[in-house]
Structure 1
Amino acid sequence: MRVAMISMHTSPLQQPGIGDAGGMNVYILNVAIHLAKLGVTVDIYTRATRPSQGTVVQLQPNLRVINVVAGPYEGLSKEELCTQLTAFARGVLEFVRENHIDYDLVHSHYWLSGQVGWLIRDVWQVPLVHTAHTLAAVKNHHRSLTDTPESEARRICEQQLVDNANLLVVNTSEESNDLVHHYDAQPAKIRMMTPGTDTELFTPGTERNTERARRELGIPLCAKVVAFVGRLQEFKGPQVLIRATERLVARDPNRNLKVLICGGASGAGAALENYIGLVHELGLEHRVRFLDPRPPEELVEIYRAADIVAAPSYNESFGLVVIEAQASGTPVIAARVGGLPIVVADGETGILVDGHDPDDWADAIARMLDDDAMRLAMAEQAVTHAAQFSWQSSAAALVEIYREALADVSTPSGPRVG
């Protein structure tokens, strides 16, 4: 089986937490790696953002990243990339034609890639499998009052993909319900594939590991530490954690609390300075530290250094950070939204919070930090809970979805590329 995977707006080679790179990058890369191990040949097409990488990057046997030139390497925001859909699609078609490649199936990720996938599906006469990752209607429904709404143009494009893709892949039943409710999707076209985590990398550290992680980060060993990992945008909720921290300090100025916020600004109007400014405004300079995004092998040290990982998102299709944290032996406090209630066992591996009121978040954080026995029990159960999610099983499930799409007699018939 040979699959053309489309990830136009963000490359799996980019560092998650910077710009538009996030959980989707982790998802695409790890699924592709394990598909390749199962014998599926995968080419990931993405927009070139610098010339030094070259056109083809061979990651491992059966897996390549193809960098397609579409517009300038730098200077285009995600909101402007729709102007380059034609150029990107032409680049994909040209590469395939020049290299005489014959694909069995197209798998697109996110709506921009889906628009390209929809076109080349009809050119190549092969099935199109589409994964939305996030949806405009859902983001607008759950967004904070100050967050920038998603455009109606995006929602229309997503509706076209829901109507025209052969199969739609979702992470959770919640996401399936969103497609049906907001986009009138046919349930018969929806397939669920639960994402995973790297359980060999994200493992609980020993007491010595935790001490070393804290020393390297310059965190006192006696402090209680709450960490946020992700892109800095209103939708992810870092401002909720910052305001909850202010409430905790106001209640008990002597509380030995440190907060780590690891990630880069992302999205329209987002800027690191906004969050630094909020920290200064609330007088939390000595409580809150900002850390640059880092690769997984370093990110695990953040999880190990923390007593709690907070995920105050306004919606999450799944929540890879939450699974990574639990696999690393760190309990979580997460918003009761999207797929987070699936990946967090409420009261067993963490606490789910209704809404985004900073006082409610302060209550949950205090409850977990002040009850060492409960927190340590949750940490132990978190590892067992996370173990049921693996990229190997995710890839195996996706292979079956691909086979079903290939067997679909409704796939347009006609000449193949090559």
Structure 2
Amino acid sequence: MEMVVDSLIRSQALAGHDVTLVTRWKQASALRKVSPDYPVIALPPRPSGGSQAFLDVGSRWPVAAAVAFHQLRHRFDIWHAHWLYPTGWMAESVLRPLGVPLVMTAHGADVNVDEEASYGFRQFHKHDTRVRDMLKRPCWTTGVSPDICDVLHDLDAKNIRCIPNGISFEGITARKTDVFAIRKSLSVSEDTFLLLTAARNVRTKGLHHIVWILKALSRTNLKIVWIIVGQNVEGLKQQFHNEGLSEQVRLLPAISKDLHDPSLAPPSALIDLYRCSDLFVFPTHNEAFGLVALEAMAAGTATIASDIGGLRSFMRSGENSLLVPQGDESAFADAIISLLIDPKRRQRLADQGQKTAQRYAWSKVSDSYLTFYHEVISETLK
């Protein structure tokens, strides 16, 4: 989310617009330490919520009051709330009475629900009621994938526009990567296939499946090392050890974007991992969009992922990637083997994937939002 917002702001600034970020106290404090290229305003701090994710969002009124204050002070032409809920819900309560245009973007957890994984705000009746009540009023909403837009339609949202997330296609493709040096640093020989997954270690990302997929692959004569990079992935270490797979996996901590770098690209170290891998594999359970899969495709890496939600918006199985039934570890193993033993097919999917990713460059996504902003401002001020 933070990278998406940062990239969108920078894209709009490059197009000549004056953009200010209004964000939570903690994020604003961190950003000010690195002096970003755009103004940052802090919302008031709030006590931490309940121990269960999505359980509590706090009171809307301190945030709403701050939004009203900053609007009256700065006279912004339009506000763009990322997350329909709770962010949009808090801002809408004061911007609508003020007659100020507001666009709200649904990114996933604000409207999607996965009860099995305890995912999403709307699993709780209070939050679900608030979202539905707000969408009964005239609202301008966007979803980052057709899957999200379908949910918005089901909630009877008005004025829906489907605008995807973007990637820094030029930044990814321009990166020069020393593949040999990186593989050497990972202790991966030249005759070994390198697989990559980038995700946080939470249930919805499906990283627990990798243990069993890799176990199936170890029964073949293929030499494989699997890199898993992301927050808390070290928590998987014992599972791989128990299955005798420690030598075939590399668990790397999350790679943070350098906020001193004004480019829109993901961290250079992550781009290098994309580019030196033979396959990007993404066994996720729930994706509103799936940015890392699109970045891997932009890097020219053949990609295999779960056949779900937002991934279907840009992945076409057999054309620019392979899609596999969610949670089907055997199917993932079969798909991986099929591409590793067929380099021509792997390269064809990689080439087509890169052509697809080019359509999602941030400049194009930003233009779509700017067009929508003009429509919203025009309609709101009638």
Flag whether TM exceeds 0.5 (same fold): yes
Residue 247 in structure 1 maps to residue 216 in structure 2: yes
Of 219, 230, 236, the match for 1:263: 230
- Partners of 1:131 and 1:227 in 2: how far apart? 30
The CA deviation at 1:149 is 4.2
CA contact (8 A) 1:331 1:375 kept: yes
CA RMSD of aligned residues (A): 2.8
CA contact (8 A) 1:128 1:165 kept: no
Of 58, 63, 69, the match for 1:83: 58
CA contact (8 A) 1:241 1:310 kept: no
Residue 350 in structure 1 maps to residue 321 in structure 2: yes
Map of 1:210 onto structure 2? 179
Give unmatched runs, 5+ long, in structure 1: 1-23, 266-271, 414-418
Q: Deviations over 1:73-127 (max 9, x none)?
A: 9998864661254333334444555xx2101222111112112221231353212
Map of 2:374 onto structure 1? 403
Map of 1:194 onto structure 2? 164
CA contact (8 A) 1:57 1:66 kept: no
- How many residues were matched structurally? 368
Q: Map 1:76-115 onto structure 2 (within 5 A).
A: 79=54, 82-83=57-58, 85-96=60-71, 100-110=73-83, 111-115=85-89
CA contact (8 A) 1:121 1:127 kept: yes
Normalising by the residue count of structure 1, what TM-score does the alignment of the two structures yield?
0.80
The CA deviation at 1:406 is 1.0
- Partners of 1:51 and 1:317 in 2: how far apart? 26
The CA deviation at 1:398 is 0.5
Map of 2:307 onto structure 1? 336
Normalising by the residue count of structure 2, what TM-score does the alignment of the two structures yield?
0.86
Change (3 A) 1:343 1:286: same
Q: Deviations over 1:10-30 (max 9, x none)?
A: xxxxxxxxxxxxxx2222111
Q: Deviations over 1:187-206 (max 9, x none)?
A: xx111213221112212777
Residue 27 in structure 1 maps to residue 4 in structure 2: yes
Between the two structures, name the one with larger relative contact order (CA 8 Å, sep ≥ 6). Answer: 1
CA contact (8 A) 1:106 1:129 kept: yes
CA contact (8 A) 2:106 2:144 kept: no
- Partners of 1:356 and 1:366 in 2: how far apart? 17
Letter in 1 for 2:180: E
Residue 173 in structure 1 maps to residue 146 in structure 2: yes
Q: Deviations over 1:209-236 (max 9, x none)?
A: 2212212333222211111112221111
Q: Map 1:112-131 onto structure 2 (within 5 A).
A: 112-131=86-105
SS in 1 for 2:356: helix
The CA deviation at 1:52 is 5.5
Letter in 1 for 2:100: V
Letter in 2 for 1:117: A
Q: Deviations over 1:24-47 (max 9, x none)?
A: 222211111111222222211111
SS in 1 for 2:112: helix
Residue 277 in structure 1 maps to residue 249 in structure 2: no
Q: Map 1:322-401 onto structure 2 (within 5 A).
A: 322-401=293-372
- Partners of 1:125 and 1:376 in 2: how far apart? 53
Residue 292 in structure 1 maps to residue 253 in structure 2: yes
Give unmatched runs, 5+ long, in structure 2: 258-266
The CA deviation at 1:308 is 0.7
CA contact (8 A) 2:301 2:350 kept: yes
- Partners of 1:373 and 1:77 in 2: how far apart? 47
